[in-house]
Structure 1
């Protein structure tokens, strides 16, 4: 996502989660997932039906936001996440941090203060690795 792109809505996030899941379990020849594959996965995990055209609109919107990459595969398109889950989370954190202005240090302290013991251990390991 570019620094000025709007935040993702709930359905956009759900579609991206499906793409990450399909990408992680992919044994397919072509990279990414078709709109049909995303639609099938989404509707199998939801209480109510979701129109195929709605899923395609969301995929197109995510492609315009540069969140997913769209590749032609015959007459259809395949979609894949531009970033991994971890890289996307890091990018969103980097986008939000400058918005804190002078309170940047306090924002970091507050974030770390609310972190779980597991997250704190992961942060300590990461800080140790980078020096």
Structure 2
């Protein structure tokens, strides 16, 4: 991206500048022609760190080794996340989920072993065993 300094001729790239950069340009002045300022490219973090450690003493070499180990561990962690899901639950949470699944399977099997006819018969037997206190009284306004 090309940035213009104050008093410099506006360029084709001015349309693509951000608002904060646009305020630094002077698009009305076409007489002053100056040098174009380029931003230095940012190196990746790994490369910047490697350049910092070139030609240093033993302490710096140890720092470099530590940095490379951190880079390797970061790469390994990225590979693990790409390869599959990492389970971050506690053992208690895992046991709870396992019991929930087990109970749900038992409920499903219990419901599956009875037919609708069998369930209705069991419900009627249950209603017969109740006392008349639970019967719904007949309400009539005319009788």
| Interval containing the TM-score (normalised by the shorter chain) | under 0.3
- Report which structure shows greater RCO (CA 8 Å, sep ≥6): 1
Q: Greater Rg, structure 1 or structure 2?
A: 2
Q: TM-score with structure 1 length normalisation? A: 0.27
Which structure is higher in strand share?
Answer: 1
